[in-house]
Amino acid sequence: MTGDDPGDADVVIVGYGPVGAMVANLLGQAGVRTIVLERDTEPHTMPRAGATDDEVLRVFQAAGLVDELLPGLDLGRARSSSRCAATGW
């Protein structure tokens, strides 16, 4: 879908948080015409993904985003513990 005709979408996702964004990516890759509706007009002011794990990286990989993200990740800290190195989650 190009975004020109929102009424032509097969799926409507409400909310462009991490879940909505990733589902939209995966649906788009599968050829499903998808539109995302987000009430906020600006990005969040606080970072919300200071730490991630291997499962999330696999999802990024499935969405074709991992090569772009890897250079910015501190993998050394992640390897040092099974818990989140940055937050302790």
Ligand X SMILES: Cc1cc2nc3c(=O)[nH]c(=O)nc-3n(C[C@H](O)[C@H](O)[C@H](O)COP(=O)(O)OP(=O)(O)OC[C@H]3O[C@@H](n4cnc5c(N)ncnc54)[C@H](O)[C@@H]3O)c2cc1C
Looking at 7, 30, 39, 82, which residue binds ligand X (CB under 6 A)? Answer: 39
Q: Minimum distance from CB of 29 to ligand X (Å)?
A: 18
Q: How far apart are CA 19 and CA 32, in angstroms?
A: 16
Q: How far apart are CA 14 and CA 20, in angstroms?
A: 7
Q: Which one, 15 or 28, has the nearer CB to ligand X?
A: 15
Residue 64 binding ligand X, by CB under 6 A: no
The span of 2-10, 24-32, 37-45, 66-74 binding ligand X (CB under 6 A) equals: 37-45
Q: Contact residues for ligand X (CB under 6 A)? A: 14-20, 37-40, 46, 48-51, 87
